[in-house]
Structure formats: structure tokens, C-alpha cells
Amino acid sequence: GLGKTNEEKKKDPRFIALGARVCAEHGADIVKTYYTETDFEKVVAGCPVPIMIAGGPKCETDLDTLNMVYGSLQGGAKGIVMGRNVWQSPHPEALLSAVYGLIHENMSVKEAAELLEHGKNSKA
């Protein structure tokens, strides 16, 4: 409930859903918010405008980034608004191609990871 820290609230689907809905009720055409690993579909269902996920903390690996993007899309997000998780990757162009595949070509994480590896190897 109300005793949660800000870090806990960033991960709590109830707080994220409430914040997203309030943004929409105040006129937002689109909402950028954190991806909650659990119950993200409830966040999306409670918001009448499209949801995009923020990159959040730096992912440890590019595969972690792909899994986060895929999970958010499966939960109903319409896309991503990311910075460091793409640009601080050792292979930002390859990662961006893989993320594009997830969002626009309905790739699985496995397919996107293969595209990522191919992109890494083609730059070598």
C-alpha cells in the first residue's frame, strides 16, 4: 500500500496502472511507463491510450533487453522508448535491428537473438 518506497512502486503493477490511467485521464495521447514483469497486461488494460515502456535500469545483457521488450509486447505495450539499454550496448545497431524485429515483425526472442548475433558477427 501507501508505505511502499519509490523503488517498490516502480515495480508494482497497481501503482503503474494507476499512474498510466491518470495520465490518460489528463489528456495524454500515449503513456511511457515502466515495465512491470508481473501483471503488465493489467497495466495496459486499465489505460485507454497506448502504452510504451521506458528502458528503466540498464539491463545486464542484450538478451535481457530483448526479453524485456518481448514481455512488454506480450503484455500489450505498443512499443518502447529506450536510451541506455540500446545505446550503451556493445552492439547498438545489431540490438536495434533485433528490437525492430520483435516490435514490427512479430519475432520471437529466439529469432531476435539470432538476428542480434548475426548483426554482431557481420560487424566483426
Active site residues: 32
H-helix segments, the chain: 6-11, 13-25, 40-45, 62-74, 84-87, 92-104, 109-122
CA distance 116 to 101: 10
Residue among 88, 108, 90 nearest 98 (CA): 108
Judged by DSSP in three states, 81 sits in strand
